[in-house]
Amino acid sequence: MLVNNLPERKDGSFPVVLYQESDEHKLTAYQCLLRKQLELFEADEDDVRCSTRQGRTAPIKLGQVGLRCRHCAGVQLAARTKGAAYYSQTVEGIYQIAQNMSKVHLCERCYRIPRDVRRQLIVLRSDCRRAIGGKEYWSENIRSLGVYVEEGILR
């Protein structure tokens, strides 16, 4: 079945790591490593219940797709460091959220990420080369996973 001209996701298809083998041909080493640290997920009841404590103006909705740190995913929400998960209103916004998560959460605050991975992210981030696909590739890739916008949130 198609939803917004995209294949409908099957139950249990999330969380899903952003990194895919095709990334190696389109993105820089930094972008590939970053995508290996992040996953798309669907908000559960705990996420919805705790969303008002995060200073959000719009509450999180059950099943809303967000982006989170893979290293913090199994940790209770209250125990996660700041910036471990974000929700975008657009598919295109995921790219910028990921860049922000890299700079602040992964490279500074997350104490669950392996030290060698953190060091490698910091070193690779300083390389100013541009990715072949960049933002457009990220958006296309996320849409190919069946993510779409519905009533101002990602589903």
Q: Quote the pLDDT of residue 3.
A: 38
70-77 long-range Cβ contacts below 8 angstroms, 24+ apart = 70/17, 70/36, 70/37, 70/38, 70/39, 71/37, 71/110, 71/112, 71/113, 72/110, 72/112, 73/15, 73/39, 73/41, 75/112, 76/46, 77/46, 77/47, 77/50
Structural domain including 135 reads 2-154
Q: What is the pLDDT of residues 62-84, one digit of tens each?
A: 999 999 999 999 999 888 898 99
pLDDT digits (tens, 9 = 90+) for 95-118: 999 999 999 999 999 999 999 999
* CA dihedral (60, 61, 62, 65) positive or negative: negative
Residue 41: strand, helix, or coil: strand
pLDDT at 8: 44
Give Cα 61 distance to the centre of its chain.
17
The half-sphere exposure of 127 on its side-chain side, counting CA atoms within 13 A, is: 12
Share above pLDDT 70 across residues of the chain, in percent, rounded to a whole number: 85
Residue 9 has pLDDT above 70, yes or no: no
* DSSP designation for 44: -
d(CA 127, CA 108): 18
pTM metric for this prediction: 0.87
The answer to whether the beta carbons of residues 153 and 89 sit under 8 Å apart is: yes
pLDDT at 58: 84
Number of domain units in the chain: 1
Query: Distance from CA of residue 120 to its chain's centroid?
Result: 19
